Amino acid sequence: MQICQIHPLFVGEVSGIDITRPLSPPEVAAIEAGMNDHAVLVFHDQKLTDEQQMAFTVNFGPLEDARGGNITKPEERRLGVGMNDVSNLGKDHRPLERDSRLRLFNLGNMLWHSDSSFRAIPARWSLLSARVVNPVGGNTEYADMRAAYDALDDATKKLIEDLVCEHSLMYSRGSLGMLDYSEEERAMFKPVRQRLVRTHPATGRKSLYLSSHAGSIVGMPMADARILLRDLTEHATQPQFVYVHRWRTWDFVMWDNQRTMHRVRRYDDNHPRDMRRTTLAGHAPTVAQV
């Protein structure tokens, strides 16, 4: 197995391995090390089934419990337990209607975010398999939040060092104008606290922990908080910190949510885009909850 860095700051392209079959312990260790070095790993031509994708993922830890992360009801799910559906498809495998609430909710993936930052214990890694690629658009962009942190001036680093943000799906979707939620959804999307600067458990390096789910900062007026978060997000997503992934069918990309943000770009919703994600559970909260 070889890993070739394809961006000046991060992102490794992996070759010489078939991840559809069981991995040996040295292969698992090499991928772990590659993730610590590069934060994003890109594989090509991996014809995974859902079962194989889940089997590959659990080499690195337990899957995240997906409950509470979407408005999809259990009976509306297209994929089995353990798989996150980030396609534009309904249970009938056809593109969702334009005014479908689920489709509109999923458009939130086009805002810069870190997966599951709205959970008290946020996701560690996400792993995405491209089963059907949309013919127009749909690139995924990744931002290196460690490099973005390193590039901040000292005054800003000092200002944000101990700040704690509140994250909720209602903040990211609220910014798109989705303001109506049922009582049950409000309880499910209750804000959680996350440090704004987090330290990577494996490398000990600091990074910005931003996400469109962040909507307030503890002890700061809302408007000040949102301006600061917007400024930091603008800083962190400058082109020099961003890798653009142009999908090919059967690409497989895994990324570390602890030190990257990502977003999907617009695509043609008349055509299917079948992307299937597995998610590795995080180890611990970034800060105590209240």
Chain positions contacting Fe ion, by CB under 5 A: 115
Smallest gap from Cβ 109 to Fe ion, in A, equals 5
Nearer to Fe ion, 115 or 251 (CB): 115
Nearer to Fe ion, 114 or 152 (CB): 114
Smallest gap from Cβ 264 to Fe ion, in A, equals 8
N- to C-terminal Cα distance for the chain? Answer: 45
Nearer to Fe ion, 228 or 275 (CB): 275
Contacts of 27 (CB under 8 A, 6+ apart): 1, 17
Asked if 1 and 43 count as a contact pair (C-beta separation under 8 A), the reply is no
Nearer to Fe ion, 69 or 95 (CB): 69
Nearer to Fe ion, 12 or 122 (CB): 122
| CA-CA-CA-CA dihedral for 150, 119, 275, 137, to nearest 10 | -50
Smallest gap from Cβ 101 to Fe ion, in A, equals 19
Contacts of 76 (CB under 8 A, 6+ apart): 90, 91, 102
Nearer to Fe ion, 64 or 115 (CB): 115
- Beta-sheet strands, E only, within the chain: 2-5, 12-15, 40-43, 84-85, 125-132, 140-144, 164-167, 192-195, 197-199, 206-208, 214-217, 242-245, 252-256, 260-264, 274-279
* 60 CB neighbour count, 10 Å cutoff: 16
Asked if 209 and 195 count as a contact pair (C-beta separation under 8 A), the reply is yes
Smallest gap from Cβ 116 to Fe ion, in A, equals 9
Smallest gap from Cβ 262 to Fe ion, in A, equals 6
Distance CA(78)–CA(66), nearest Å, equals 14
Smallest gap from Cβ 113 to Fe ion, in A, equals 6
CB-nearest residue to Fe ion: 115
